Amino acid sequence: MTADTREKAIHTSVLLAETMEYLQPVSGGVYMDGTLGLGGHSEAILEKSAPDGRVIGFEWDESAIEKAERRLAIYGDRLQIVRRNFAEIGEGLEEAGVEAVDGLLIDVGLSSLQLDMGNRGFSFQRDEVLDMRMDNRRSVTAESILADCTREELADIFFYYGEERQARPIAAAIMENRKQEPIRTTKQLVSIISKAVPRRFHPGRIHVATKVFQALRIAVNTELENLAQILDDGVDWLKPEARFCVISFHSLEDRIVKRKFRENPELEVVTSKAVLPSRDEILGNSRSRSARLRVAKKK
C-alpha cells in the first residue's frame, strides 16, 4: 500500500454521499471547496462534474496542499488550489479568475491530517510543541496565548470557545505554573489541566483536556470569526440556485451556521434540520459522529 493510499484510507471525508447529494455538482460547473484538506470532497466533486467541472480549493495548511496536489494530479487544471483561508473568499476567487460559483462547500474545524500527522500540538495523545497553527505563516500560537493572556482572558477562551465549565480553575493553574516555567508542550498542559480539575468533575466520555485544546485551537486560528465571515461574504459569490453546504463538528459552529443561514434574506434553507452521519459511517469512522451538515440555496 502506497503512502497516498494509506492517507486516503485513514482520512475519510465525512458525510461525503450526503454532501454530494445536496451540492449537486454537474459538468461545466465551478465549485469552491473552502477546506481542501487531503482532497476527498474535491475529488468527489470533480468525479461528479466530469468531464469539465472545476474546483477552486482553498487551503492554508501547506502540508495538506502538498498531499492534495499529489492525490488530485490526475484532474489537471480542473483543480485550482488557493493558499488562503475560506474567509478570504473574495481575494481567492479573484486570484483564480472566478466571478461566481455554482456551489460552495466548507468543512469546518480540525482535519484528521492535522490531528494524526501534524506534530503541531493539536492532539493531547502525544507530547508535542504547543503550536496549533493551521497556517504556519500566522504569528499567534497556543504557547504564546498561554504565555501572554491574563487569567481572565484565558478563562474566557476556555469557557466561550471550549464550553469548559472548569475554565476559571484551569486558568488559575496555568497562571501559577507559568511562573515556574514556560508551558511549551502538550504534556505539560495536560498535566496542569488534570490536576486543576477535581477528579469528580472529570468527564466520563471525553478526556479532561479535550475542551481546553479545542478552545486554544479555535483561538489560535480565529475559527469562529472566519466561519462568520464566509457565511456573510460567501453568499455574494454564489450564482442563483447555487448550494452552500457547511459541515461542522461542534455546537458552537453549528449554531452560527444555523443562525446565519436563517437570517440571510438571500438564502433559502434546504435542510430544516442538520443532516447527521449514518450509523454505518460512524462505525467505520468514529470521528464522524459529531458531524453536522447544513445546506442553503441562493435565491
Residues making up the binding site for S-adenosyl-L-methionine: 39-41, 59, 86, 107, 114
As annotated, the binding site includes 39-41, 59, 86, 107, 114
Cell numbers found for residue 184:
511549551
Cell 490526475, located at residue: 74
Please check whether residue 45 is in contact with residue 13, taking contact to mean a CB–CB distance below 8 angstroms.
no
- Distance CA(22)–CA(296), nearest Å, equals 9
Please check whether residue 124 is in contact with residue 98, taking contact to mean a CB–CB distance below 8 angstroms.
no
Q: List, in sequence order, every residue forming a beta bridge with 82; answer none if it has no partner.
A: 58
152-177 as b/e: b if 16+ CB within 10 A: eebbbbbbebbebebbbbbbebbeeb
Alpha-helical (H) ranges within the chain are 3-10, 16-23, 40-48, 62-71, 89-95, 112-117, 142-148, 151-156, 162, 167-180, 186-196, 210-220, 223-233, 251-263, 279-284
Task: Name the 3-class secondary structure at 78.
Answer: helix
DSSP track, 131-155: ---SSTT-S--HHHHHHHS-HHHHH
Residue 245 is which amino acid?
Answer: C
Cell numbers found for residue 159:
469557557
Task: Name the 3-class secondary structure at 201.
Answer: helix
